[in-house]
C-alpha cells in the first residue's frame, strides 16, 4: 500500500507542477516591430538612410489580454535626401507608404510635374520595391517605374522609443490613456 500511495503522490505532485507552470506562463508576444537605422541600397543611387520609428496600439481581441500585433502599428520612416519618408502600414504582409511630390519630374520644357512614390518593404526579408508614378504630363502617357531595394540594419535609434506608448487598464473594456 505504501508504494501505491508514494506513486500516487508523486504523480499528483508532477501533474500539479506541470499545471501550475502552464497556468503561470506569460502571454505570448508577437514578433518585435521593426525599428532602428537602416541602410537603403538601390541600383543607381548612393546608399541612403532609412530611419524607422514604430508606434503601436494594443489590439483588443477578446479583452483578456492585450494583443501586441504589428497590424495595429505605424512605422514612421524618415529618409535621407534622395528618398521620401512617410508613415507605413502593414498591408498584405508588406509595410507600405506613399508620398506625393509637387516637383517630382522635370519636363523637357523645364517645367515640373507631380509624381507619387510608393514604398513597399518586407521587414523579415529586408527587401522592397520603390515605385514612381506620374499622370499624363509633359506630353507623356501616364507611367510607372518600379525598382527593387534592400535594407540592412545599421544601428539602433538615437533615442529609445516606447513601441506601445498607451497604458491600458488590465480589465474589461481595455480603456487606454
Q: What is the pLDDT along the chain (177 residues), one digit of tens a residue?
A: 565 555 555 655 555 555 444 444 444 455 688 999 999 999 999 999 999 999 987 766 665 666 666 677 899 999 987 889 999 999 999 999 999 999 889 999 999 999 999 999 999 999 999 999 999 998 889 999 999 999 999 999 988 888 877 777 666 566 677
Where along the chain do its domains lie? 36-155
How far apart CA 138 and CA 82 sit, in angstroms, is 22
Contact 67, 36 (CB under 8 A): no
pTM: 0.74
Amino acid at each position: 500500500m505504501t508504494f501505491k500511495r508514494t506513486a500516487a503522490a508523486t504523480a499528483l505532485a508532477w501533474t500539479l507542477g506541470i499545471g501550475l507552470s502552464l497556468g503561470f506562463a506569460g502571454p505570448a508576444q508577437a514578433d518585435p516591430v521593426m525599428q532602428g537605422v537602416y541602410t537603403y541600397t538601390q541600383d543607381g543611387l548612393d546608399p541612403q538612410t532609412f530611419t524607422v520609428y514604430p508606434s503601436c496600439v494594443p489590439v483588443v481581441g477578446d479583452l483578456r489580454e492585450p494583443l501586441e500585433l504589428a497590424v495595429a502599428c505605424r512605422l514612421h520612416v524618415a529618409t535621407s535626401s534622395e528618398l521620401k519618408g512617410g508613415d507605413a502600414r502593414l498591408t498584405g504582409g508588406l509595410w507600405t507608404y506613399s508620398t506625393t511630390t509637387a516637383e517630382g519630374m522635370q519636363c523637357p520644357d523645364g517645367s515640373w510635374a507631380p509624381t507619387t512614390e510608393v514604398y513597399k518593404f518586407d521587414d523579415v526579408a529586408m527587401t522592397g520595391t520603390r515605385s514612381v508614378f506620374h499622370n499624363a504630363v509633359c506630353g507623356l502617357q501616364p507611367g510607372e517605374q518600379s525598382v527593387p531595394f534592400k535594407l540592412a540594419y545599421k544601428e539602433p535609434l538615437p533615442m529609445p522609443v516606447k513601441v506601445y506608448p498607451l497604458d491600458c487598464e488590465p480589465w474589461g473594456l481595455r480603456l487606454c490613456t
